[in-house]
Structure 1
Amino acid sequence: MAPPHQQQPQRIFFAGGGTGGHLYPGLAIARAVVRLAPQVQPHFIGARRGIERDILPATAFPHTLLDLHPLYRSAPWNNWRTVVGAFSAWRAISALSAGARPRAVIGTGGYAAGVALAWGRAHGVPTMLHEPDSHPGLTTRAFAGGARALYLGFSEAAGRLKPGANTDVLPLGCPIEPPPVPPPSRREARAKWDLPEDAFVVLVTGGSQGARAINEAVAAWIDQGLPHGVCVLWSTGRQQAAAWLDRDSARVKVRPYLAPIADAYAAADIAIARAGAMSIAELCAWSIPALLVPLPTAAQDHQTYNARATASSGGAIHLPQPELTAARLDSEVRGLLTDPVRLADMRAAMQARARPDAAQAIARSILGLLDIPIAADSPYYQP
């Protein structure tokens, strides 16, 4: 096998974005692909109006941002923007491909992926899709039939898709940053937070922006008095931190954001969180039972489907936002605090769903389907 620098460059388009849930999996897969096969050259295609405009310039990957728009369901008269943007994006992708035809187009969901996948399909370029959620999005459903591979974050999504006869359907999980090996010990993690080793630690997180409904319920729960022995690690979100920092105490650690989050995960007995696919994937990787509060306004209510699927497996409790009160939180936490057998079963159920090496597994599959060899000097090479 030729050394990586002597091998023919292999270009792959990654298309997706709009939100972090559609962009970050693509970045994780691309990084894993390059670690395995340095001759691969990922190129990201996204929307000028999506999160990718802020994230992609800070990465090492070349990228092209196009005038892409979603379907305006509540304001259909604006869909002319979607049509015009699609035509201009098609021309831009054709021009981008003129110098070096891609080996594949990999869509990671969202409106930013559709045109690139359609272009690939029309030009005979293999297409592959990653769907993070239990309820597949419109883009995944539209392109599943002709895809070479469907990579699923939730195995439950397979029942809602119509793959083609030659489509590989692989529930390999959501690409995340896996726990370190070995992970931080509970004692070490709690010492860093200045928490008792024998405390029952509840991690509260609504993501980088926070979740106001969760924050308000948690604040009310703290104000009424936490159960004996319970401590809280509370990530409020950067924009909301000022309203809740006065609750910080020996038993309640209030932070705008947790980065890195490893010591919080290592210290936690349970989590209260939104039901985004990436959040659930991380909780599974760390074997943390969860009270999942889906975002009611999520597209196609996909977080509710994620929460239901995880709860059905036994690893979580689905707690709809209208039912989220201080009294309900107190009841659920006390129930788990006093039932170690149930808590252990939930932890085992979350561990059973864990796919911490999803990015590498997906990357290996992509390279195998494209017949691109893994570099012999890659730390992940397996002869």
Structure 2
Amino acid sequence: MVTTSVLLAGGGTAGHIEPALAVADALVALAGDDVVITALGTERGLETRLVPERGYELRLVPPVPLPRKPSGDLLTLPGRMRSAIKATRAVMDERDVDVVVGFGGYVALPAYLAARGRVPIVVHEANARAGLANKVGARFAAAVAAAVEGSGLSGARVVGNPVRRSLSQLDRAALRAQAREFFGLDPDAPTLLVFGGSQGAQRINDAVSGAANELAAHGIGVLHAYGRKNEVTVPGGLSPRYVAVPYLDRMDLAYAAADLVLARSGAMTVAEIGAVGLPAVYVPLPHGNGEQRLNASGQVAAGSAVVIDDADLTPTVVVEKVVPLVIDGIVRDGMTAAAAGMAAHPVDEVLARMVLDVAAAARSGGNAR
């Protein structure tokens, strides 16, 4: 079998990196030694830690963040973009790349421009609304996939979001006791998992930690990832325990320990929570183009999630609206059943086969576009 060299472009945040790594794992599962994976990133992003941890080669190129409003950065943008494209093409030549797969983020746009007319491109859009990089890349991609309908990418195949197998195949019930022991949580108390994305979210941190005493009084244990750049203050001696950590390296165990999640509704967060079959309270990021609220809409419609606006989230609202969902077994069980009914299918494998098919078609004389 011919070896296929794949360049993955999805750096910056975990929301761009995790789907890329899920597809990388699926490619290896399908093709084994007949596929070579190289990830593209910048020195600014979480990929500098996440990609090597998963065993893949990471090559760095200059970051090219696109200014969100007119500024002096616009004057230097063309030069920085040319530098990133040149660096990307050097990686493509060195690795003899057959196909570029982009997931949005800082490195995706220079990767698309570097690949145009040279090797085929596959684009995957994780969010409910596509970002600029993927809108550009989709115009000359050989294949385009999206998580949901209405992403803004014409002709996109709707496949969902790829989630790593350690989550999509997670048996939460079987791991619950181990997971709670791992984090030092009460083995029997209903447990709330709280996080605000890879960087944390101060609004969520303040609201939930501010309700720590009330959560304990209602018999609720808490596992709270507050972000490496943030801090929270939690009263000591609470029972059930309130465990606060800067980051969760074992999301499989975090999900297994939980009965309910309170989190932002980034695309990959929503996909992971859906894949493991947990009910959720989402607090959409109030910035951007409203995609986080849209990301959560499917689970809200199915009855497995509710939304609280960021501006409304306070310790009082946590007690009034979140606590009942955790302690009311009938309501929580109904939400859990709805969540289980939406559990993800193997999107990672669907995308991996798409990538391999595009590369094979290009080798046989198809148009790389």
Shorter-chain TM band: 0.7 to 0.9
Tell me the equivalent position of 1:17: 11
The answer to whether the Cα contact below 8 Å between 2:146 and 2:159 also exists between their aligned partners in 1 is yes
CA distance in 2, matches of 1:46, 1:261: 23
Amino acid at match of 2:161: G
SS at match of 1:134: coil
CA distance in 2, matches of 1:59, 1:259: 12
CA distance in 2, matches of 1:54, 1:81: 28
CA distance in 1, matches of 2:259, 2:95: 50
Tell me the equivalent position of 2:83: 88
Tell me the equivalent position of 2:344: 355
The answer to whether the Cα contact below 8 Å between 1:208 and 1:237 also exists between their aligned partners in 2 is yes
Amino acid at match of 1:250: S
| Partner deviation per Cα, 1:60-84 (whole Å, 9 max, x = no partner) | 4334322231221234321233211
Tell me the equivalent position of 1:366: 355
Residue 359 (structure 1) shift: 2.2
Q: Give matches, 1:212-361, under 5 Å.
A: 212-224=202-214, 226=216, 228-241=218-231, 243-247=232-236, 249-256=238-245, 257-297=247-287, 299-337=288-326, 340-355=329-344, 357-361=346-350
Amino acid at match of 1:296: P
Q: Select which of 158, 164, 178 maps to 1:170.
A: 158
CA distance in 1, matches of 2:21, 2:177: 33
- Please give the root-mean-square deviation of Cα atoms over the aligned residues, in Å: 2.9
The answer to whether the Cα contact below 8 Å between 1:178 and 1:357 also exists between their aligned partners in 2 is no
The answer to whether the Cα contact below 8 Å between 1:134 and 1:309 also exists between their aligned partners in 2 is no
The answer to whether the Cα contact below 8 Å between 1:144 and 1:161 also exists between their aligned partners in 2 is no
C-alpha distance 217-112 of structure 1, shift in aligned 2 (>3 A): same
C-alpha distance 57-272 of structure 1, shift in aligned 2 (>3 A): closer
SS at match of 1:161: coil
Q: Give matches, 1:54-69, under 5 Å.
A: 54-56=49-51, 60-69=55-64
Residue 57 (structure 1) shift: 5.3
C-alpha distance 74-196 of structure 1, shift in aligned 2 (>3 A): same
| Partner deviation per Cα, 1:289-341 (whole Å, 9 max, x = no partner) | 111112234x4343232234432332211111100012211122344256544
Given the alignment of the two structures, is residue 112 of structure 1 paired with residue 107 of structure 2, yes or no?
Answer: yes
| Partner deviation per Cα, 1:14-65 (whole Å, 9 max, x = no partner) | 1121222112221221232123212211222233443334544555433432
- Give % identity: 31
Tell me the equivalent position of 2:38: 43
The answer to whether the Cα contact below 8 Å between 1:201 and 1:231 also exists between their aligned partners in 2 is yes
Amino acid at match of 1:362: L
| Partner deviation per Cα, 1:71-127 (whole Å, 9 max, x = no partner) | 21234321233211221233333344445642211001113101221232333x221
C-alpha distance 296-86 of structure 1, shift in aligned 2 (>3 A): same
C-alpha distance 119-262 of structure 1, shift in aligned 2 (>3 A): closer
Question: Gaps spanning 5+ residues in structure 2: where?
Answer: 362-369
SS at match of 1:254: strand
Given the alignment of the two structures, is residue 32 of structure 1 paired with residue 26 of structure 2, yes or no?
Answer: yes
Amino acid at match of 2:63: L
Segment drifting more, 24-33 vs 328-337:
328-337
C-alpha distance 151-355 of structure 1, shift in aligned 2 (>3 A): farther
The answer to whether the Cα contact below 8 Å between 2:22 and 2:162 also exists between their aligned partners in 1 is no
Tell me the equivalent position of 1:148: 142
Amino acid at match of 2:128: S
The answer to whether the Cα contact below 8 Å between 1:44 and 1:64 also exists between their aligned partners in 2 is yes
CA distance in 1, matches of 2:215, 2:90: 62
Question: Gaps spanning 5+ residues in structure 1: where?
Answer: 1-6, 373-383
Segment drifting more, 42-51 vs 314-323:
42-51
The answer to whether the Cα contact below 8 Å between 1:189 and 1:267 also exists between their aligned partners in 2 is yes
C-alpha distance 234-252 of structure 1, shift in aligned 2 (>3 A): farther
Aligned residues: 356
The answer to whether the Cα contact below 8 Å between 1:295 and 1:303 also exists between their aligned partners in 2 is yes
Segment drifting more, 103-112 vs 48-57:
48-57
CA distance in 2, matches of 1:100, 1:230: 52
Amino acid at match of 2:115: G
CA distance in 2, matches of 1:194, 1:96: 46
The answer to whether the Cα contact below 8 Å between 1:179 and 1:262 also exists between their aligned partners in 2 is no
SS at match of 1:74: coil
Structure-2-length-normalised TM-score: 0.84
The answer to whether the Cα contact below 8 Å between 1:149 and 1:170 also exists between their aligned partners in 2 is no
Amino acid at match of 1:85: R
SS at match of 2:27: helix
The answer to whether the Cα contact below 8 Å between 1:21 and 1:277 also exists between their aligned partners in 2 is yes
Amino acid at match of 1:210: G
CA distance in 1, matches of 2:326, 2:291: 29
Q: Give matches, 1:183-194, under 5 Å.
A: 183=172, 184-187=174-177, 189-190=179-180, 193-194=184-185
Q: Select which of 74, 82, 97 maps to 1:79.
A: 74
